[in-house]
Amino acid sequence: MTALTRWVVRLHKWLALIVGLQIFLWVMGGFGMALMPIEQVRGEHTIAETAPAEIDLARVLALSEAAERAGLVGAVTSATLGQWHAGPVYRFATEAGPVLVDAETGERLSPMDEATARAVALAGYAGDAPISAIEYFPEPTGEYRRPNPSWRVSFDDGEGTRLYVNAETGIIDARRNDMWRLFDFLWMLHIMDYEEREDFNHPLIITAAGLALSVVLAGFVLLFVRMRRTVLVAMNRRAAER
């Protein structure tokens, strides 16, 4: 065995030892995520079907008047008109954050209270399970990683379903359940982002992937060397038998 071959063997063993566990986690995580139906992970089966409702424009305030009544004059950067569970609303974007306004009265509806969050969650949930808990979060959580306050409405449906209602826009921004939490854990292991669980271009995973690639390349080199040695031994044996 040449010095180069011995060096490659040592390199392959040490690199395999270092990155072997992470390679296992990559494969295990990928396999586990592939087994879970993505529709259930996203909680799509809990989305209630709602018939589209027409907006009576004759009853809707002009955009400027609605903003004035809500005290938003000069602070608005954009606005949209849409249907909400309680009727037509304007969703204003301001430098301080989004603001929900009743399009018929100009009443400011955000931030929402618990009763409104409950009503929104019940209207958006397809099922008969009762609500088991309602909690308010002024900051992002491990399940809901968005920079706005939210209401978490938990349902006692055996799946650990939790709906996150944006306290500023009145929209159900996220649906979580037990399968999602398992999927999220495997995703964290897969991309090696143990905090935000979103970045798959960070130095740690790039380094680990580079080391894993080195293990594979070193393995190919060893395979070539050993196959070459096997062929040479077989050829020498045949030559000696003649």
Instruction: Kindly tell me if the per-residue pLDDT of 12 is higher than 70.
Output: no
- Tell me the pLDDT of the chain averaged across its residues: 86
Q: What are the Cα distances from residue 79, in Å, to 86, 103, 136, 147?
A: 18, 11, 26, 20
Q: Which amino acid is at 136?
A: Y
Mean pLDDT computed over 104-126: 94
Band (239; pLDDT cuts 50, 70, 90)? low
| E strand spans, 16-122 | 76-84, 87-94, 97-102
- β-strands 97-102, 87-94 pairing: antiparallel
What's the CA angle centered on 145, arms 139 and 147, to 5 degrees? Answer: 50
Flag the least confident range among 2-16, 21-35, 81-95, 107-121.
2-16
Band (180; pLDDT cuts 50, 70, 90)? very high
Tokens of 49: 């079907």
Query: 225 by DSSP, 3-state: which?
Result: helix
Q: Global pTM?
A: 0.80
Instruction: Kindly tell me if the per-residue pLDDT of 22 is higher than 90.
Output: no
Mean pLDDT computed over 58-85: 89
Instruction: Kindly tell me if the per-residue pLDDT of 236 is higher than 70.
Output: no
Question: Could you give the CA distance from residue 113 to residue 83 in angstroms, rounded to a whole number?
Answer: 19
Mean pLDDT computed over 178-182: 96
Q: Which among 43, 60, 3, 19 is positioned nearest to 129, based on CA atoms?
A: 43
What is the crossing angle of helices 3-35 and 203-241, to 10°? 120
CA 111 to chain centre: 25
Mean pLDDT computed over 96-106: 92
